[in-house]
Amino acid sequence: MSKITALDLAKNQKEISVAEFFERNKHILGFGNSTRALLTSIKEGVDNSLDACEEVNILPDIYVEISNHEDGECRVIIEDNGPGVVKKQIKHIFGRLLYGSRFHAIRQSRGQQGIGISAVVLYGQLTTGKHATVISKIQEDRPAAVLELAIDTNKNRAEVINQTITHWDKPSGTRVEISIIADYKRGKRFVYDYLQSTSIVNPHAQITYKEPDGAIHVFERTSEVLPRKSVEIKPHPYGIELGTLIKIAKNSKSRKLSSFLKTEFSSMGDRTVNVVCEEAQLEKNLNPKDMTRNEFLAIHKAFKKVKIMSPPTDCLSPIGETLIKRSLKHETREISPEFIITASRPAATYSGNPFQIEAGLVYGGNLPKDSSVKIMRFANRVPLLYQQGGCITTEAISSIDWRRYGLEQKSGKGIPSGPAIFLIHMSSTQIPFTSESKEAIADVSEIENEIRLALRICARKVQHHIHKKVRRKKTKEKFELITKILPEIANKSSKMLNKPVPSLEAIITEIMDVVWIEDLIEYEKVKSNDVKPVQTTLIDEKMEKHGVGVITKSTIMVVNYKRKPQKFNLYVLIPEDAVVGMVEPKPVKISDKYIKWNLDDIPSADKVDIIFELAGLEEGDFDENDIYTEDINPSFVIGADKWEGD
């Protein structure tokens, strides 16, 4: 046998392109089997469409169609009303992997690698041998460009097979058509679930889905307001690695260490810079380009020892409690849930990356009582449908003892059973996915803790709701029994004794011995020019656009069924996105979170009506007040919980 030398080995070594790598490892991107391939293809296209529309402040109208699903081949069509793509960029965006505009931007976005839609084009080419077709129009008075594309995997570059122009009855937009090998029969349910879930966390989008048999599903827009745009931020010192720190320094225009730290990183003011330099024992006037590895190492260690303010959170774009509730209510209307609860945690950080957790809980109605609860997981407004068991969201849910909150759970661990749906959404500049297919969030203790806290807020609200409902029902039955029987006894007694019928208010009060609180929510449609002056600034974008809006009117009735006058404070929480208009009687405080009244000496058997109006909500957003009392024994009160402070 002849001896093989290093020179012989060197002859076989060559560079491979990223497209060639993914050609052989397509499972990494979510194309592991034909069922997942269908979902991944639609997911990447819809994500692109949503991003494009939001970038230019257009409410997305997205059309998804699957056709020709015979012989294991599907034609996937995704169309949007976005800004379109400039003709010379089409081949790069759709035919070149790792080409995008958001990879270096530190802000919340659906995708950053520039792999998504080009990977679908590559998968379609590999499995069917057919080319993708892209139609794009950027201006109403111009024709649409039509390109037929393939990918040269050796060079990671697009090949334009054919190009032409056509008339398209649309002001602007993009349409992509790709043939792929996919299992439609098995993937059918996942596609529907994905699009429905996408509509829940993107309430500003309307999605139309046409199945191969011609059936059309429309996931309607439930909000006319686009999400808040996330702002790009600088990297945070806590999340930076030593090699990256050195690289940033070499590319920085700053000539002094102090200015370098302030301009290249977030949360680094003069005071923090001084403390970091002192901790590192380095001069602030050092030129970053002349610093040694050991000096950078000293800075890197100082970052970890110095308390640095958390990064700004305007780089995030959470959905908001009101919109989550509105979407869940719309999508579960056939279930007729007993109530829907939402919770939003303040922004937090892990490894210097800002993130925020939002949660929703649907309870009761026609949901099955003996099945495991349904879990809906989302990251940056994108549904996560696979790898539920390997996601930290599932771990957080399993770690809570749900038996305390009315759900079944063996040993107080694991996924609970009962009539409930859990929704968890994570917004972040960097979602720590477990793999490139982006289906599960990694085990990060800070994230797990925030998910658990958000879920416990929802769980406590469930507990309070059920407790309040049971107490109210029992007290109401008692009241109805008393008010029915006592008058009959009084009438018969007065006839037997030939005396006037006595007043029963004092007796009813003595038997009841509670403060009864009940609220009523009503909606009133108003024209924008009919809104009272105090409400003029409260009109939301929908009212401004259509000239019509909704005023939410709350009436809270407080009845003293105790023997003595009662004096206490009453609080009502203000829903997110709502602004207070008219309030009667005058409160002692209106904050951005609650309204507070001092109720002075309500006489026995007397009542007080509290009325207030809210603008900025839509009908159905708000169906029950969160009411709290202070300076009164909570066991005396029916219909409110104890105020625990801000």
Q: Which two tokens stand for residue 533?
A: 């002056």
Q: What is the mean pLDDT of the chain?
A: 84
Q: Helices (H) and strands (E) in the chain — how many of each?
A: 15, 24
DSSP assignments along 552-577, one per residue = EEEEEEEEE-SSS-EEEEEEEEPPTT
Cβ pair 609, 557 in contact under 8 A: yes
pLDDT computed for residue 15 by the predictor? 53
Query: May I ask the CATH class of domain 237-305?
Result: mainly alpha
The pLDDT tens digits for 309-322 are 888 888 888 998 98
Q: List all residues 6 or more positions away from 467 whose beta carbon is below 8 Å from its beta carbon.
A: none
CA distance 269 to 263: 9
User: Mean of the pLDDT values across residues 437-458?
Assistant: 91
Instruction: Name the architecture of domain 321-464.
Output: 2-Layer Sandwich (3.30)
Q: How far is CA 147 from the centre of its chain?
A: 36
Structure tokens at 623: 């169906």
Q: Where are the beta strands (DSSP E) in 466-514?
A: none
CATH T-level fold of 513-642: Immunoglobulin-like (2.60.40)
Copy the structure tokens of residue 517. 């609180």
Lateral strand order in the sheet of 216-219: 157-166, 144-152, 132-137, 173-181, 73-80, 61-67, 206-210, 216-219
Q: Which pair of structure tokens corresponds to residue 179?
A: 């043939």
Give the span between the Cα atoms of 394 and 549, in whole angstroms: 39
- Dihedral sign computed on CA atoms, order 401, 402, 406, 407: negative
Per-residue pLDDT band at 350 (split at 50, 70, 90): confident
Greatest Cα-to-Cα distance within the chain, rounded to the nearest angstrom = 129
Judge whether 480 and 525 are in contact, CB under 8 Å: no
Cα pseudo-dihedral 98, 104, 108, 113, rounded to 10: 10
| Residue 454: exposure state from Cβ atoms within 10 A (0-12, 13-18, ≥19) | buried
CA distance 81 to 61: 6
Radius of gyration of the chain (CA): 31
- Whether pLDDT at 14 is above 70: no
How many angstroms separate the CA atoms of 103 and 124, rounded?
Answer: 24
Judge whether residue 8 has pLDDT over 50: yes
Q: What is the pLDDT of residue 30?
A: 65
Average pLDDT, integer, range 397-412: 86
Residue 407 has pLDDT above 50, yes or no: yes
Compute how many other C-beta atoms are within 10 angstroms of the C-beta atom of residue 543: 23
Q: Assign 106 to helix, strand or coil.
A: strand
Q: Where are the domains of the chain?
A: 18-219, 237-305, 321-464, 513-642
- The number of angstroms, rounded, from the C-alpha of 152 to the middle of its chain's C-alpha atoms is 38
Check pLDDT > 60 for residue 375. yes
Q: What is the DSSP pairing of strand 637-638 with strand 515-527?
A: parallel
Is 219 in contact with 108 (CB distance < 8 Å)? no
Confidence of residue 99 (pLDDT cuts 50, 70, 90): low
CATH 3.30.565.10 is the classification of domain 18-219: yes
Tokens read off for 424: 């968890």
Count of C-beta atoms within a 10 Å radius of residue 152: 14
What pLDDT shows up at residue 69?
Answer: 66
Q: Per-residue pLDDT tens for 558-595?
A: 989 888 899 999 999 998 778 898 999 999 999 988 99
Which tokens belong to 364?
């009761």
Q: Which of 204-208, 337-341, 378-382, 494-498 has the weakest average pLDDT? A: 494-498
Predicted confidence (pLDDT) per residue in 625-635, tens digit: 889 999 999 88
